[in-house]
Amino acid sequence: MTRYWLRCTLPGILLVLATLHGCALLEPLQDPDTRIDRAVAAGEYRQALEIIEGMDDDERTGREARRGEIEVRAADAADRALREAEAKTAEGNVGRALDILEEADARLPASAVREQRIEELEHHRRIGLDALERRHRMMEAGALAERLRLLDIMQPLTRDDDALPDDIEELRERGTRLAAELERDARDGDPEAALERLRLAEKLDPERREEREQRIAELKTKTGASPDPIEPEDTPPLLDAIERALEADDLVRAGEHCRDLSEQALSGSIAERHRSLCERWEERRDARTAELLEQGNADYAAGHIHRALEAWEHALELDPEHSGLRSAHERGQRVLERLESLRGPVEGPDTPGETLPAP
């Protein structure tokens, strides 16, 4: 009876397992050509080529034409993935561009070009995220400093700290932690941004004022910042100048005015207007910089190196600290110097037809 039961149930169990695993148990029994066709139909070109590579010499020789067809399809798929990724990058969607290239990397034969592009995009993604995180910390620090200032004013008017709208000690502890992060951020970047971060850190954690004084003095010397706060009555004309520059699309001038006011002791409606105008400038600067970077990349790829350098230089006027722009501009300058050393001065503004390193 037991043997009869086993004979009846064992085939059923195997069939259920094969179904649950998507016929994985039966796949090794399929002939190689069927497995290759299934892989190609699914876009798994790497897997299809690996199946051919795993055959013995005679079988592999008989499928050379099939291998060539798969390699052509894989190359087309790789080109499409790169184009789609570049389109997403131009839109500013670096995360989706990385997804496209990494998905292609899992299905297609290895590619040094694709691997390099993934590394570049991942590098730019990290830089962008780091910059946004630093900016978020600045916004958080400014808001926290203002809350602490108001609580310090309210505290003497209350009979008990429990009557305050926030736990002032908890906020001070948070301010101390945030001040340490701002000090860390101040080690990198341009002196003006570093000075702004240290001044905010000073508001959040005044007990360490003496430790920061020397560094703040050094940064003031580098930036030429005035230690005296600007008078409120002098502020509106400068804010009007920012607004006029934005209306005229003069982003370089608007940025200069924003930086002139960023280190001053502004408050109330004046500070709010300054923040609003300069956020508008930052958004338009970032969009224009991205546009000029992509325009330069396209000109560079087409061999128009002078036009590429012009676009990158214009973008650097807007954002001198943009590492991607600096890197592209330096690479373009080196290539131009090599071309001139090989054939003498370039005749015109463009060098069409030149094969240049990837931007």
Answer whether residue 279 is part of any domain. no
Q: What is the number of other CB atoms lying within 10 angstroms of the CB of residue 103? A: 12
Query: CA nearest 197: which of 258, 280, 136, 125?
Result: 136
**100 pLDDT above the threshold of 70:** yes
Instruction: Determine the length of the chain.
Output: 359
**Residues 36, 91 within the same domain:** yes
Tally of domains in the chain: 3
**Residues 19, 106 within the same domain:** yes
Query: CA nearest 346: which of 338, 358, 357, 356?
Result: 338
User: Phi-psi region for residue 334, left (φ > 0), alpha (ψ -120 to 50) or beta?
Assistant: alpha
Q: Name the residue range of residue 30's domain.
A: 15-110
Confidence bin at 352 (pLDDT 50/70/90): very low
Helix then strand count (H, E) for the chain reads 15, 0
**Residues 164, 216 within the same domain:** yes
Residue 104 CA to its chain's centroid (Å)? 21
Answer whether residue 157 is part of any domain. yes
**Residues 215, 295 within the same domain:** no
**Residues 97, 145 within the same domain:** no
Cα 306 from Cα 345, distance rounded (Å): 12
Question: Contact, 244 vs 226, CB < 8 A?
Answer: no
**Residues 103, 159 within the same domain:** no
Q: Which of 202, 223, 244 is the last residue of a domain?
A: 223
Answer whether residue 296 is part of any domain. yes
**Residues 99, 150 within the same domain:** no
Stretch 77-95: mean pLDDT, rounded? 88
Q: Kindly list the distances between the CA atom of residue 333 and the CA atoms of 294, 307, 350, in Å, as whole numbers in the listed order.
A: 17, 12, 14
**296 pLDDT above the threshold of 90:** no
**Residues 105, 166 within the same domain:** no
Answer whether residue 232 is part of any domain. no
Confidence bin at 76 (pLDDT 50/70/90): very high
Q: Which two tokens stand for residue 164?
A: 């305050």
pLDDT of 6-41, one tens digit each? 455 655 565 555 555 544 444 455 688 888 889 899
- Which pTM was predicted? 0.46
pLDDT of 155-190, one tens digit each? 777 777 777 777 878 888 888 898 888 888 887 767
Measured at the alpha carbon of residue 124, what is the angle toward residues 119 and 130, in degrees to the nearest 5? 125
Query: CA nearest 336: which of 309, 311, 298?
Result: 309
**355 pLDDT above the threshold of 70:** no
Q: Write down the mean pLDDT value for the chain.
A: 78
Cα 297 from Cα 52, distance rounded (Å): 39
pLDDT of 108-154, one tens digit each? 999 898 899 999 888 888 888 887 888 888 888 888 888 888 877 77
Q: What's the start-to-end Cα distance of the chain, in Å? A: 76
- Specify the higher pLDDT residue, 84 or 190: 84
Cα 272 from Cα 277, distance rounded (Å): 9
Q: Which two tokens stand for residue 250?
A: 């003069």
Answer whether residue 141 is part of any domain. yes
pLDDT of 213-262, one tens digit each? 777 777 777 766 554 444 444 455 778 888 888 888 888 888 888 887 77
Amino acid 324: pLDDT: 78
Confidence bin at 354 (pLDDT 50/70/90): very low
**209 pLDDT above the threshold of 80:** no
**Residues 151, 64 within the same domain:** no
Amino acid 203: pLDDT: 83
**Residues 53, 85 within the same domain:** yes
Answer whether residue 260 is part of any domain. no
Question: Contact, 185 vs 139, CB < 8 A?
Answer: no
Amino acid 23: pLDDT: 46
Query: CA nearest 284: which of 256, 312, 318, 260?
Result: 318
Answer whether residue 51 is part of any domain. yes
- In the chain, the largest separation of any two C-alpha atoms, in whole Å, equals 103
Answer whether residue 205 is part of any domain. yes
